[in-house]
Structures are given as C-alpha cells and as structure tokens.
Amino acid sequence: MRYLPLSEANRRDMLGVIGAKSVDELFRDLPAAALAKARIDLPKSASEIEVERALSAMAAKNLNCGQGPSFLGCGNYRHHTPASADYIIQRGEFLTAYTPYQPEISQGTLQAIFEFQSQVALITGMEVANASMYDGATACAEAVTMATRVTKRNKALLSGSLHPHYRDVTLTNAKFLDLDVEALPPDPMAVEDLLGRVDDTLACVVVQTPGFFGHLTDYAVLAKTCHAAGCLLVVCVTEPVSLGLITPPGHIGADIVVGEGQSLAGPACFGGPGVGLFATREKFLRQMPGRLAGETTDEDGRRGWVLTLSTREQHIRREKATSNICTNSGLIALAFSVHMTLLGEAGFTNLAQLNHATAVSLAEKLEAIKGVKVLPQTFFNEFALKLGKPAAGVADKLAAKGILGGVPASRFYPTFPELTDVLLVAATETNTPADLDAFAAALKEVLS
Amino acid sequence: MTKPTTASGNRGLQLEQGLIFEQDTPGATAVDLPALPHTRDRLGGMKNTKRIGLPGMSEPEVVRHYTRLSQKNYSIDSGFYPLGSCTMKHNPRLNEKMARLPGFADVHPFQPVSTIQGALELIDTTAHWLKALTGMPAVAMSPAAGAHGELCGLMCIKAAHIAKNQGNRTIVLVPESAHGTNPATAALCGYSVESIPANSEGRVDLAALKAALERSGSNVAAVMITNPNTCGLFERECIQVADMVHAAGAYFYMDGANFNAIVGRLRIGDLGVDAMHINLHKTFSTPHGGGGPGAGPTVLSAALAAFAPVPFVVHDAQGYSVEEQAGFGAAKDSFGRMKGYHGQFGVFVRALSYMLAMGSDGLKQASGDAVLNANYLMARLSTELTPAFPGPCMHECVFDDRFLKGTGVTTLDIAKALIDEGVHPPTMYFPLVVHGALLMEPTETESKATLDQFVDSLLHLARKAKAGGAEAEFKSAPQLSPRRRLDETKAARKPVLRWTPPAAGAASQAAE
Amino acid sequence: MSIRYTKDHEWVLLDGKIATVGITQYAQGQLGDIVFVEVPAAGKALTAGGEAAVVESVKAASEVYAPVAGTVKEGNAALPDAPETVNQDPQGKGWFFRMEVANPADVEALMDQTAYDKYLQELAG
C-alpha cells in the first residue's frame, strides 16, 4: 500500500526489538469475542487511477454551477477564487500543520490568524474577532449562549430575517441548554416589530443583514433600544462581500457580529466546510468562545505570536469552558484571509460594487417579466422574487434548461403556504450579462 | 563561532515578514475585476461612507508574504509530528485533487435534488464505509469536528432519555483521563459531570464505575469513555462497561479520537457502544490545515438512530434525496439541526478518497503499523525514558517525567529541545493523570528510519539531561527555530489581538 | 486575630466581623504567572465553599472559594489591571476581597499557621 512505508523486513525487525512474535500479539487487549465477530465487508485497496475513476464518475452525476448560469445564494455564494489563493492554501506548511500549539515552529499559522482576526474586526466594525468557528450557523448559536453568559439572562429573540439554518442550530443548542429562545416567523416583507419586543429579560436579539430575503435594514435604533434594556444585539452576516459596500454592523451598535466566510474563502463545496466569523466588543472578550492569537515577543525580543487567553477553552476550563470547540476552520479562515489580502480595500469595495450592480441589473430584467415581483426595496446581491407560481416547480424546470435559477423558499419553510411562490435569487461577479439575459428569458418561458 | 547578525534580520532562508498592514500601498489590489455596469444603487441609506482600513498589495507581494509565513511552520509534509491523540498522518494529495473536481467543489447546497445525485451518493457511500468499519447501523454525518460529534452523540442520548420520560438523568460519568472536550460537551448538553478515577494500569477503575452507577444509577444519562484511552491503552473491560451502563439504563458513548488504533480490525458495534464520533481529520487522513476544518460523523446504535440530527441522505428507486426538516417524515424524531447545509462535504470527499485507496485490507494494515510503530518507540525509548504504564500500548505511548527527576530539566524543556532536533514535540502534560506526560503517536505513515532518528535524538537529550550540567542549555531551547520561547504571560496580561494603526507620532517617526 | 487557611489555599484575616481573603504564597507558586483576576462585587452573598472569585495563569484557571459564609464588602479593584500583584505579594497587596462574615467562629475553625504548614508538608509527600 503506497501510503505505508514499513516493509515486511522492517516489521520483523521491529517486532524483534519489541519482543513480540506478531503484530496481532500487540492487540491482545482487544476482546477476543469482538475480534472474532469483526467481518468487514468492504472493497480492497485501489490504485490512484482507480480511485480517480470512481470519484470522477460520482462527481459527473452532479450539475455543477460552472456548467450553466447559476443564481443560488441563501448563505452560500459563488464567487471567483483567485488562483493564488487556492495555491497558497495548498502549500503543505499550511495544509498539513496542526493547531499551532508549539509557537516557535508555527509562526506562519499564528501570524495568519492574527491577520485574519484583524481583517474580520475591520470589516465588521468590531474591536476583536476570534480565529474562527465551524460555520455561520454554529457561530450564531455560540453568540446566543455567549449573550446569556454576558447578561446572565436566558431568553433570546431571533428575527424572521435570520437564515433558517442559523435559526435551527440556535434552537437546537437552546433546547439542550434550557434557554428560552423565540424565533419569529419568516419575514419576506421586512415588517416584523422587533423594537416592541425588546425588554429587560432578553439576553439578546439576533438579526441578519442583508436579511434572508435580501432586505437591508438599518438596525441602529434597535441597537439603542437593546442597550437601554441591557440586552445585546447580535448581527449575522451570511454574505461578507456585502461588507465592502454597506455600513458595518459594529458602526450601528452591534455587540456581537457572526457570519459565514465561505463566500470569500472558496467554492460552495455543497455547503461545507465553511468558516464561522465571530467578532465582539473588547469588554466581552472573556466570554467569547474559540481560539485567539495574540502578539508578544520571544526571548530575543523579536515580535511573535501565540495562542492566548486559552483559559476560556475546553482543554483548561473543561466543563466550565465558554464552548467545547477545539478543531475549528483554520484552513478556510486562511483562504478567507488570503482572498481578503489579495483584494485589499480597493478590490474589496470594487467586488462589492460589482456584485450589487449585477444584482440590480438582474432585478431589473426579472421584474420586467409579467407576474414577477422583487420583494425587497433594498438589497445587496440577493433578493426574494414573488412568482405567482410554485417556486419549487419553477426551479426544477429552470434546472432542466441548465440554469440554476434560485432556491425556492418552501425548501426552508414547508409549513408556510404564503411562501410557496417565493424564489430566492442571488447574483455575483461570476454572472455575465449574457447569463442574466439567459435567466430572464428562461424564467419568462417557464412562467408563461 | 557566533552567528552573524544581519541588517535585514533575515537569516538565510529564514526570512522575516511584517504584517500585511505594514505593507500597505493605498489603492493597490491584487484582484482586477470586469468593468462595472451602470446601474442606480438599491442600498437605501445603508451605503458605507467610511474607509474600512484594509491594506492594498499587488499579487507578487501577497504570494511572497504567505510563502514566507508558510516557511515558519512545521508540518507533516516536512517532518515527523508525533503529537499524541492528534493522529498526524500523511495527507495524500489525491484527496485534494478529488475535492477540487468541479462536480464536488462547485456544487451548491440548495440545488434541485435531481442535479446533486452524485453529491448525495458521495455522502451515502462515505456513510456506508463508516457504518461497515464500526459495525453500527446508523451515522449522523453533519457534525463539523470531534467535539461537535460528541455533542451530537450526547444530544441523541438526551433525546432518547426524554422520549422514555427519563429526563431526570442528568449525570455523565467521564474518566479523569478524558480530553477536555468531553466534560465541556456534557456541560453544553445541560449535564453535570462526575469523574471516574483510573486504576494503577491507566484504565477505568471498574469498581469505581460500579460504585458510581450504584450511587446515582437512575440519574446517570451516559458514560463517556475514550477507547483506546488517552494513555494509549485499550480498555480491556469495555464490554463489561457497556453491560453495566446498559443495566443502569444509561448509554455508552465512546470517544473515537483514537479510532486509528483499531480501524479495520475491531467493530465498536461489537463492544456494545451506543454512539461514537469519528475524526475524519485524524483516522481518515484529511488535512488538519493548521486547526481545521475537520469532520466528526457520529455512528449510532439502533437505540439512538431515530434521534439523529438533520440533514441525512435517504434513497429509494427514484434515487437519492435528503431529509432536511426535523419533525417530518423519516426525521420525525430527529432532535434537530446542528450545522448549516449538509455537513463538511469537502472533508467527506477527501476521507472517501482515502478509504477507497486503502480498502479494508489497507486500513487493517494501517492500524497494525500504527500500533507497531508506537510499540517500537516505546521499546527503544524505555532504555532511558520512563513509560507511565507497561505495554503493549496501542497507537500511542505515554512517558512520565520520572526520568528527569533531580535534573532540573522539565518535560517542556525536552519538548523545546526536540524542536532544535528538527521534530515536532509530542503532546505534553496530557493526559493529566500522568505526571509531566509526553504522549507520542507516530502513526503508520512513518518509516522505521524516521522513528530511529527521532529515538536517537530523544535518547541523546535524555542522557544529556541525566548527565547534569545542561539545565541552562535546555532552558534556552529552542535556539534554531524561527522564534525562541515566546512570552505567553505578556500576551495574556495585555492582550493584543489585532492590528491597530500606529499613533500618528509613532508613524511619522517610523517614516523618518 | 491571627491568620487562618483553607484546604483550597485561601488565607483569611479577620478583623471584627470583616474578613480579608486572598490566595496563599503556595497557591500563587502553583499557578505560575497570573494573568487575570476577577473579584466579586460588593453586596454579593457568599456561601462557605461557594465560588467567589476567579484567578487565571497562562495554563490554568481556578476559582477562589469563599472560606466562610457572608457578604462581600469590596473586591480589590487594583487586581484586574495588575494581576501580577498576586504573584508579587499574595498575602499583602494581592488580597482578593473583603467580606462581612456571618459567624466569626467559622473563621476560627479553619486551619491556623501550624496546621496549614503541616498540610503543605503532607501535600509535598
């Protein structure tokens, strides 16, 4: 087997040094009854070319987003990944390193994390950010439990603008921790009343911007109302490219900003792995979950970085830790950070503008179709469409034409009949003017 | 001969590299984009008017920046990484190539099901391998990492108890040698933790477990045991443990962090286990990436399967589909969702690529070689070091610090001296039950020559420490790495966790 | 009034009904460089053996327990900004909090200097 360096001669020599007759003898502590039962009915080893054939055949059964115009979003976006970003994350020194527990020989990872933390803090408008969480949904759930620790209250309110997966993961955590979390119904018209629901028993209110249905909402007043009630405002961002164009949540008063970094980190990859972004105010630092890299100096006085404040974490605090997270999303955080570094201020804002302009062009073409209505007045690169026909069937028909033309809201809200004809559509810099025209023409045909 | 000082601070191939923020050329970018179409904006009043503060760099500068950073990292590609409990094995590049096939990478989680049959097949096939290797009837694929898998298992257990009106069961028994995630996870499930002591052999003390179950049996929800345990030993009496736990009406959670020791040989379903997470980034060779991403699929017994989280793949004559809504259809008893989308799909591709390559025979050989390598390290090192427990060990071996007694040299000093020898230090001071522990896991992907070189280095250091007079030298190690020991106290007392622009005065000074 | 000790390595100095509490020289030595301290707010009710404060070094985190029942009069406001004081002067400037004790006799029942020294010897084995 090509991944195993020991030869039969090596094995014999080594058994001699150990003083064992066979490898099986080393397994003598395993229960004999269980060993006797262990029949493992799986294929035998395969050459590289055979593995490639098998997996390529599986991959070929999917319609990939590069095979035709694609307009899918809902928290997972198709952006162009610069070639150098994917090259850098495949360098073995990043790809095949462990968590940087030995800082003397992990300065590359540690400095990259420090730069990532700095970038996330800047784009969210917050004071500190951690080294990453698993994904946006789990980061959202962690934000709610953090808010309960900070405020010592156990109630939370989730806006209907929140991604339904973020809502569900948060509700799952809440159920097991006996937290009282209320999730408001989906809010496609952005009319829900959050202000009237804030009171001094709430640990936090969780909103999303841009909202799940695309709306851009100014939450500055909500932030003030929350703070007056001693409650935190948690803002989720599922499309971080939006932060190149719209006011960062930190500037309107968010206390915790969480998000999903996938859109800048790399391809959709069927939704995972992503990278959870987590930022907050310095005064809440001790209650923040996840790893942190911090600046220090070495014995020669040279600047360097270490993992720090780890007494919050499970390996020291055990059952009193802020979270049980250990492995996070290191490499995806690196991919996010490299792309952000390649973009810089100018590239990031240009990319955001191009996304918005493409989405506006698309909205104009689609709302020109009879019976089609764009629901949000304001949006970034994604919006809900009302079609007047069941959206799931429309999406299937578009797919049959080779166009991935949006996600039906009914996939997330099967018990809300009023959302049956709502389709969620996103546009990015990967969509050409010809793609937009092809989509508009196909949608017109499917709806007629 | 003293080392020369250089004007640049560089030392040959060790190149110093500042932060990206210190290389800012305002307005520069490494990403050129197509021209912007002319449209009016639909942002309402939400357009940002302030500068964000991101630095601008060109593509060559960015590539050089990260290349230089990478050169300050140790990695499994470059050398031996005997980090106990972490399974740092070779990461085949075939896995990376497969994960980048457009049919896997460029697939959106919410495409119509008819367009993602291959993706669902990949998840289902990976699940099939994991079930066959563990002898378990079900697997929850969505947990994102080991600790997340633990949470999945305990959530299933809690849901199962509640379904039987046994919500009063609030205690989880955990051995004192457990990894910190075990008690942390139990707490996240609203459980309280009781510690079970180890016996002198480093295994769970069965009498103590029995006493704990007798004392609070009707309140015990689960027992969590790592097997092989964190001392590198197989819990010989695990079938009795399972029987005792089940007799008390509780469930048996096995932490699968060390599955690499037994994969292909022993099915944990034959041990009476109810739930176990599998770290794909350990046993199944997906890269650690400097701290993730991982994946922690959790295999479940028939008693727990119905409570598994959504989403999961199902298939019938029409093909594959996916259950996404808890409370409906096949997911009627599911406890809910614990991660966005469909789990760590990209990690599944890599793990399946590895499993197909290894096959059932290769995996059995791998656990055999992993255990052989660990026992070989233990045998050769025992001439100078003090093993904490008698062998044979499983895939890792643990030494205590008795061999350093009276030398003034500590476990930490030995670890740092190993850095100068060119190897990554073993896990230190874990498990907590072993004084001054050095926990070594060589894995099966290391050659005998690599092991011999490591042993020679470590024996040399042990002899040097014992000979005396070298304490100061040990305390000043490492000397040859990109950085020497870093001041962790300073980092923690006045945390600097992000770059901030230098004060105006300092900036103008720097410019002069 | 002489000093008293607990098995968790807290010291207690009673003056009338007011007790000053900190961690011992031995405890700070075991923790190593202390990087963070959280002291209780005035008015907090404490039960004997209940959590009263938090002390962290780089590698360890530990609770400081209330040696006896009572109410916090003040936390040492200087500590959060200068946690190293606990290393430098654990039984002086590095005190954690002052409390009004419910029953001064409870303090009397704790270990005196001789008993604590003996206890430390036992730990050293």
Query: Same domain, yes or no, for B163 and B187?
Result: yes
Q: pLDDT digit string (tens) for B396-414? A: 999 999 999 999 999 999 9
Beta bridge partners of C123: none
- What's the pLDDT score for residue C1? 61
Contact (CB, 8 A) for B44 and A380: no
- CA of A146, closest CA in chain C: separation in Å? 18
User: With the C-alpha atoms ordered B316, B317, B320, B321, is the resulting torsion angle positive or negative?
Assistant: negative
Query: Same domain, yes or no, for B339 and B429?
Result: no
Establish whether the linkage from the previous residue to B92 is cis, with ω within 30° of 0.
no
B181 and A324 within 8 Å at the Cβ level: the answer is yes
Across the A:B interface, residue pairs with CB atoms under 8 Å apart total 718
Of B74, B99, B495, the CB nearest to A105: B74
- CA of C82, closest CA in chain B: separation in Å? 8
- What's the pLDDT score for residue A19? 97
User: With the C-alpha atoms ordered B380, B381, B383, B388, is the resulting torsion angle positive or negative?
Assistant: negative
Please provide the DSSP assignment of A25-76 as one string.
HHTTTS-HHHHHH----------HHHHHHHHHHHHTTB--TTSS-B---SS-
- CA of B321, closest CA in chain A: separation in Å? 13
How far CA B295 is from CA of A326, B92, B347, in Å, comes to: 12, 17, 7
The DSSP bridge pattern shows strands A155-158 and A180-183 to be parallel
- What's the pLDDT score for residue C63? 87
C36 and A317 within 8 Å at the Cβ level: the answer is no
Contact (CB, 8 A) for A397 and B100: no
Which DSSP state fits B73? B
C61 and A286 within 8 Å at the Cβ level: the answer is no
Secondary structure of residue B399 in the 3-state scheme: strand
Contact status of B46 with chain C (Cβ, < 8 Å): no
H helices of B2-145, where?
59-70, 93-99, 102-105, 117-134
Contact status of B494 with chain C (Cβ, < 8 Å): no
B341, B336, B345: which is closest to B156 by C-alpha?
B336
The residues spanned by each domain of chain C are 3-103+110-124
A94 and B289 within 8 Å at the Cβ level: the answer is yes
C84 and B488 within 8 Å at the Cβ level: the answer is no
d(CA A56, CA B363): 23
Q: What is the 3-state secondary structure (H, E, C) of B432-468?
A: CCCCCCEEECCCCCCCHHHHHHHHHHHHHHHHHHHHC
Neighbours of chain C (3+ CB pairs under 8 A): A, B
- What's the pLDDT score for residue B202? 87
Residue of A nearest to C55 (CA): A311
| Residue C60 in this model has a pLDDT that exceeds 90 | no
B281, B296, B361: which is closest to B87 by C-alpha?
B281
B510 or B366, which is more confident: B366
Question: What is the percentage of chain B residues whose pLDDT exceeds 70?
Answer: 98
Assess if residue B16 is contained within a domain: no
Domain boundary among B355, B387, B414: B355
Residue-level pLDDT, tens digit, chain A, 448 residues = 999 999 999 999 999 999 999 999 999 999 999 999 999 999 999 999 999 999 999 999 999 999 999 999 999 999 999 999 999 999 999 999 999 999 999 999 999 999 999 999 999 999 999 999 999 999 999 999 999 999 999 999 999 999 999 999 999 999 999 999 999 999 999 999 999 999 999 999 999 999 999 999 999 999 999 999 999 999 999 999 999 999 999 999 999 999 999 999 999 999 999 999 999 999 999 999 999 999 999 999 999 999 998 887 777 777 777 888 888 899 999 999 999 999 999 999 999 999 999 999 999 999 999 999 999 999 999 999 999 999 999 999 999 999 999 999 999 999 999 999 999 999 999 999 999 999 999 999 999 9
Contact (CB, 8 A) for B258 and B84: no
Question: What is the percentage of chain B residues whose pLDDT exceeds 90?
Answer: 88
For B52, the token pair is 């964000």
Domain CATH for B435:
3.90.1150.10
Establish whether the linkage from the previous residue to A433 is cis, with ω within 30° of 0.
no
| Residue B354 in this model has a pLDDT that exceeds 60 | yes
Give me the residues of A, 71-110, that contact B with CB < 8 A.
72, 74-76, 78, 82, 84, 86-100, 102-109
d(CA B339, CA B295): 11
d(CA B122, CA B136): 19
> Most B CBs within 10 Å: which of A87, A134, A175, as the mutation test of the B interface?
A134
Contact (CB, 8 A) for B57 and B30: yes
- What's the pLDDT score for residue A323? 82
Assess if residue B10 is contained within a domain: no
Assess if residue B72 is contained within a domain: no
Residue of B nearest to C80 (CA): B493
Q: pLDDT digit string (tens) for A223-236? A: 999 999 999 999 99
Q: Beta-carbon neighbour count of residue B45 at 10 Å? A: 9
C36 and B492 within 8 Å at the Cβ level: the answer is yes
Write out chain A residues lying below 8 Å of B184, CB-based.
314, 317-319, 321, 323-324
B392 and A20 within 8 Å at the Cβ level: the answer is yes
For B63, the token pair is 């590539």
Dihedral in degrees, nearest 10, Cα atoms A208, A214, A216, A221? -40
Query: Same domain, yes or no, for B283 and B403?
Result: no
Query: Same domain, yes or no, for B214 and B288?
Result: yes
| Residue B344 in this model has a pLDDT that exceeds 80 | yes
Distance of CA A77 to the CA centre of its chain: 10
Of B117, B271, B376, the CB nearest to A18: B376
Contact (CB, 8 A) for C77 and C37: no
Mean per-residue pLDDT over chain B, rounded = 94
Which DSSP state fits A250? G
Assess if residue B301 is contained within a domain: yes
Query: Same domain, yes or no, for B267 and B136?
Result: yes
Q: Please give the backbone phi and psi of residue A347, each rounded to the nearest 5 degrees, phi first.
A: -65, -35
- What's the pLDDT score for residue B507? 42
Contact (CB, 8 A) for C86 and C55: yes
Residue carrying structure tokens 């002069």: B512
- What's the pLDDT score for residue B103? 98
Q: pLDDT digit string (tens) for B25-63? A: 999 999 999 999 888 999 999 999 999 999 999 999 999
| Residue C125 in this model has a pLDDT that exceeds 70 | no
Query: Same domain, yes or no, for B336 and B375?
Result: no
Q: How confident is the model at residue B511 (pLDDT cuts 50, 70, 90)?
A: very low
User: With the C-alpha atoms ordered A174, A176, A179, A184, is the resulting torsion angle positive or negative?
Assistant: positive
| Residue B509 in this model has a pLDDT that exceeds 70 | no
Domain CATH for B337:
3.40.640.10
- What's the pLDDT score for residue C85? 95
Q: Beta-carbon neighbour count of residue A220 at 10 Å? A: 14
Residue of B nearest to A42 (CA): B360
Structural domain count of chain B: 2
Query: Same domain, yes or no, for B113 and B221?
Result: yes
Residue of C nearest to B429 (CA): C59
Please provide the DSSP assignment of B36-52 as one string.
PP------TT-B--S--
ipTM of this complex: 0.97
Contact status of C32 with chain A (Cβ, < 8 Å): no
Mean per-residue pLDDT over chain A, rounded = 96
- What's the pLDDT score for residue B508? 42
Neighbours of chain B (3+ CB pairs under 8 A): A, C
Query: Same domain, yes or no, for B106 and B190?
Result: yes
Query: Same domain, yes or no, for B351 and B363?
Result: no
How far CA B266 is from CA of A31, B257, B471, in Å, comes to: 9, 15, 46
Q: How confident is the model at residue B501 (pLDDT cuts 50, 70, 90)?
A: confident
Q: What pTM value is reported for the model?
A: 0.96
Secondary structure of residue A198 in the 3-state scheme: coil
| Residue B201 in this model has a pLDDT that exceeds 90 | no
Residue of A nearest to B158 (CA): A176
Q: pLDDT digit string (tens) for A365-379? A: 999 999 999 999 999
Task: Give every strand in the sheet of B275-277, ordered side by side.
Answer: B138-140, B298-300, B275-277, B251-255, B220-226, B171-175, B192-196
Q: Which domain holds residue B293?
A: 95-355
Assess if residue B493 is contained within a domain: no
For B272, the token pair is 């009476």
Query: Same domain, yes or no, for B420 and B307?
Result: no
Which DSSP state fits C50? S
Domain boundary among B302, B328, B355: B355
d(CA B205, CA B197): 6
Query: Same domain, yes or no, for B385 and B427?
Result: yes
B492 and C84 within 8 Å at the Cβ level: the answer is no
Please provide the DSSP assignment of A224-243 as one string.
HHHHHTT-EEEEEES-GGGG
Of A54, A62, A92, the CB nearest to B77: A92
- What's the pLDDT score for residue B510? 40
Overall average pLDDT of the B469-483 stretch: 96
Residue B277's H or E segment, with its range, is: strand B275-277
d(CA A259, CA A274): 10
Write out chain C residues lying below 8 Å of A311, CB-based.
36, 56-61
Across the B:C interface, residue pairs with CB atoms under 8 Å apart total 13
A418, A383, A422: which is closest to A74 by C-alpha?
A383
* Assigned CATH class of A83-339: alpha beta
Burial code (b: 16+ CB inside 10 Å, e: under 16) for B186-216 equals bbbbebebbebebeeebbbbbebbeebbeee
Of A48, A271, A433, the CB nearest to B345: A271
C61 and A316 within 8 Å at the Cβ level: the answer is yes
Burial code (b: 16+ CB inside 10 Å, e: under 16) for A143-159 equals bbbbbbebbebbbbbbb
C60 and A286 within 8 Å at the Cβ level: the answer is no
Dihedral in degrees, nearest 10, Cα atoms B472, B477, B480, B483? -120
| Residue B460 in this model has a pLDDT that exceeds 90 | yes
Residue of C nearest to A309 (CA): C58
Contact status of B488 with chain C (Cβ, < 8 Å): yes
The residues spanned by each domain of chain A are 83-339, 347-447
> Most B CBs within 10 Å: which of A124, A132, A324, A358, as the mutation test of the B interface?
A324
- What's the pLDDT score for residue B2? 67
* Assigned CATH class of C3-103+110-124: mainly beta
d(CA A102, CA B283): 22
C61 and A311 within 8 Å at the Cβ level: the answer is yes
> The domain A347-447: what is its CATH number?
3.90.1150.10
